[in-house]
Structure 1
Amino acid sequence: MNEFLSETTEEALDSGEVIDSMTDIVACLNTSDSIQRFLLDIHCILQKVTYADNFYVVLYREDGSLTFPYFHDVKDDIDPEDLEALSLDEIAHSLTAYALQSQNVCNYTTEQLNEMVAEGRLNIIGTVPKQWLCFPLVNRNNFMGAFIIQSYRREDEYSGVIVDVLFTISHVISSALDAFNNQQALVEANTVLQNYQGELEIKVAERTQELESSLAELQKEIGIREALQQRLEHEALHDTLTGLTNRKFLFRELNNLAERSKRGSVTVHILYLDLDDFKPINDNYGHHSGDIVLQEVAKRIQGELRVYDVLCRLGGDEFVVVLSDPLEKSVLMQICSRLITCISSPIQLEGGQQVQCGCSIGVANNNGVFSAEALLKCADSALYSSKELGKNQAYFYEQASV
């Protein structure tokens, strides 16, 4: 089962599973009656996250010596009491002691371990693993020890993603271990000082609440980042003034349609709109009034289109409509006529004044395979012709073959 977990963890792992694991670690505070049971529960939780058959914990005593409260290994069946019996000299040159000196995450392969042994930097007790990970346990600047996970199967058992996740979990284990030690100390003191029972329970609850609050903050932060990512993606594809899609969105849509035209029949009609006599509004009433006009025009155009038609503000007072249906020229003319009529209606400004602007439209459609740039250029050329012929009308680019 653990082999299956190792092969699928990186695919299935998500922030929700990590948070659930952290929550389970906090829950161990209320179910464990000894340090061994507490670490056994943590071991079981880690096995749900990644391959962790080989797992042990080393802690510092108050006198600076090392103790091994939990040890589980599929290769070396070492009794924790035997580890406790090792001399200080033997422990001082062990791989565990060597890693503890750095107080950082260690990630060694067999090759690296053999090189360090050959250089006389350390001695390895037991079987040399394929991959060996050590995560420091630090809480409030107090270096308590470390937990070790190792694999005898592969040198790439634990990817960078898994190492990062385990490092994150190590912070929760450190806090939970500190809370557990405090809790155990409080329970022992409670047997002597019954009068302080209420106060002791409050302190335990406060420590547990701090951990749960930290997990809640982590979950909140993940939500904020996801919302920010969605907002940034939306802003990158939309015009901030009108809320319409922008040039980047337009070319993404047209390029997608152009690719489809290479594989089958696709009909695309481009309506290139430019407001007539918009500059005098800006000059006479100010740019703020001009913005009001652009926002109102955007709403009016949207009101004449279907929900799935594409409407974007290309820039300034230019708008583009993309219709991806087979439509007769007479139908397109009706659509253009409605757009010109609705845009030409008076627009109320904030000061009570009314202004009007017209609209010229250039229309172009594809003839089989096309490119986004070429089709838009044809619509722009038709718009220029519409302006030249007197404005406030639609002109069709008849020879579009792009």
Structure 2
Amino acid sequence: MNEVVLEKMEALDSGEVIDSMTDIVACLNTSDSIQRFLLDIHCILQKVTYADNFYVVLFREDGSLTFPYFHDVKDDINPEDLEALSLDEIAHSLTAYALQSQSVCNYNCEQLHQLVAQGRLNIIGTVPKQWLCFPLVNRNNFMGAFIIQSYRREDEYSGVIVDVLYTISHVISSALDAFNNQQALVEANKVLQNYQSELESKVAERTQELESSLSELQKEIRTREALQQRLEHEALHDTLTGLTNRKFLFRELNNLAERSKRGPVSVHILYLDLDDFKPINDNYGHHNGDIVLQEVARRIQSELRSYDVLCRLGGDEFVVVLSDPIDRPVLMQICTRLIACLCAPISLEEGQTVQCGCSIGVANNHGVFTAEALLKCADSALYSSKELGKNQAYFYDEPVL
């Protein structure tokens, strides 16, 4: 096993895997299409292992296969071309062959050539050095699979990585099922809204005839409006801290990005990640960890202006958006105040106190920008801050592309 593989295994720990699973669930709040949902999952898997070559295959209701997401560094295959393949062509593919087993498949290059020589399958595209297939099963429903492959080495994925990916596949299966249900609820809500519009029109036309029942109808409408408002609030806010969430952040950044196309806009991103938070969860329990996160949210909010945007991305990550011109010395003062207030002791329910620091990555736009690019730059700056040491801020000085 080469040094690169060893380094990957040493770098992988249970905390990173749990964070990846949490991020996968968090994708439910940010994805408005199956393609975006799977793209987010792809990005998360790339943090766990080498996953440049990744695609997903799902079963349709009629039993045929569909490929909602496909990314490969060697074969430039258009997902629409995969959708156009006939059932006979797909039936003899490596993917279809693996799906028949409904279990984890791990093939190297030699094994694949043997299967082809035996006439058991045909390989579409370049033969990989290592090919992994993980079934997507939720509540005994076999939905399909996701595939990760490497053209570099036959030992790209160790047994540890395979086990980790298999564990993550259960989370992806549950999240995918939840996403499908969520999309079904969205469609049902559209039907409900159309029905409500028709109902209100009929009420207007028959007011005189239905005077006695008008009060009940109005009460029902108010209940629905209150429910809609509550659902909208919950969709844009974090239930633990009450802060806005990732979905709200991207909506705000996308609005600012559109404004940047029409004129000058100053946007500063402060990407905060708590230092030494994991030991608090491990030593005092997740309940006390939640208390710490709530107190951290309150302290950050107290250092900001009422119109500044503060959101919790998930876990112990927070993002501050400042949307007016601010010089670097002032930004550094803000970061220094935030770090100082978060380093102060935090009281737990049992009378105990804990402390955790904070690392900050700072990025700002240079003219026109995109939400994803700007947040990625702030994340990169945060990584540099962590690398240089704890309880400090690092500024991203490269142009935001």
TM-score normalised by L of structure 1? 0.49
Q: Give the TM-score of the pair, scaled to structure 2.
A: 0.49
Structure number, greater radius of gyration? 1
